[in-house]
Amino acid sequence: MTDLADSPAVRRLDDWDLERLEALADEYETPLYVMDLDRVKENYARFAAAFPDAHVMYAAKAHTGRAVLEAVLEAGGTIECAAWGELQRSIDAGADPDELQYTAVNPPDRDLDYAADLAADHPGLTITIGATDTLERLAERGYDGRIAIRINPGIGTGHHEKVATGADAKFGIPYERVPEVADRVREEFELVGLHAHAGSGVLTDDLADHCRAIERVGEMARRVGDDELEFVDVGGGYGVPYREDEPPLDLAKTSEMVRNAVGDLEAQLKLEPGRYVVADAGLILTEVNTIKEAPDTTVVGVDASLSTLIRPAMFGSYHPMLNVTAPERDPIEATVGGPVCTSADVFAHDRPIAEPERGDVLAIGNAGSYGYELANQFHSQPKPAEVALEDGEARVARRRETLADVTRLEQE
């Protein structure tokens, strides 16, 4: 792992070894996910160093691949999970079940069955609840262990309304009901913490709103007795700059503002970065297959699609792009899209890019978070392979799916 003093706060596409990327595309074919595990470890270590007195967990939902989870654990991290599958995959990667935290959001029965069974043998497991129904359902399963209460602070932040969870009624106990719920938990379970998550994709300019939500969490912790709590978890959501002209998150300022916002606490501060740890550690390589001159643009067709990376279609997200094969060519304004039969299958509209030709390899940056996690098989497209880079070596972390993989669950 690179010394943190030499590790840039954000990795741009220009920082990757382009010759190596083209070689990876040639060897493993496209579309191809590439994850730099050394960068994952650097990002986790940098974030943890900014909060030296806090407990920093990795939010697994950003990227649950085994290679990534193993890298986080190697860097000294613990893991926060949002579903039973993430719990199991974390354990398979080597996580100690007694150090896991499970944040239940409208949990299906199978999730609670799994968590209750796991806690029977590993009482250190913490379950975060966002509804009193979940308490009743846990009690029905004989669970009386560690509980954290998720607060709805009434303030949402983030890069898109679909990730501004702090003001969404789906998430957490309504703010003014928290004290009565805390009393109930203390009677029937072990209340160990409070939790909140305001939103995702927070950069430096978003910190004021983000910290207003954290202030409310700190106030509630003192109101219910923070000296009796083990931790106060203010969630994650810390972002990376997707656009080339956006500055990286100022971690020193973030740490200062978060500490000031939460205020004096007896309980330990917890944070859950996900995107920050993995976003710029991953990219997608895709091959150009079509060049079409249209009246208002040049259409560049590639073999990646919204089944490979759905964030632009789902959130209108911007992802940087680079012609890996010929970055020195004069740029043209291009509309880059995939083979899926919908107008939503476009990665960029009128984007300046070094003039592509058929057979060129393009890189789509900042694809390490919520990239492979949201990949799908629309149009019966098998999911891509994923290559992991670590200590100068490349290995297949996930093989490319085949059509047999896509259809193997079908019944005659």
Provide the β-strand partners of residue 40.
Answer: none
Are 45 and 8 contacting, i.e. CB atoms less than 8 angstroms apart? no
Parallel/antiparallel/unpaired status of strands 361-364 and 321-323 = antiparallel
Give the residue among 404, 365, 371 at the shortest CA–CA distance from 386.
371
Give the residue among 191, 188, 165 at the shortest CA–CA distance from 178.
191
Give the residue among 135, 166, 164 at the shortest CA–CA distance from 148.
135
- Half-sphere exposure in the Cβ direction for 125 (13 Å, CA): 27
What value, to the nearest 5°, has the Cα angle with vertex 239 and ends 344 and 213?
110
Burial class for 53, CB neighbours closer than 10 Å (0-12, 13-18, 19+): exposed
CA 314 to chain centre: 15
Range list of H helices, 189-316? 207-224, 251-262, 275-278, 311-315
Range list of H helices, 225-285? 251-262, 275-278
Task: Say whether 232 sits in a helix, a strand or coil.
Answer: strand
**Among 5, 169, 294, 341, which one carries the catalytic annotation?**
341
- Identify the helix (H) or strand (E) that includes residue 87: helix 84-92
Active site includes 341?
yes
Question: What are the catalytic residues?
Answer: 341
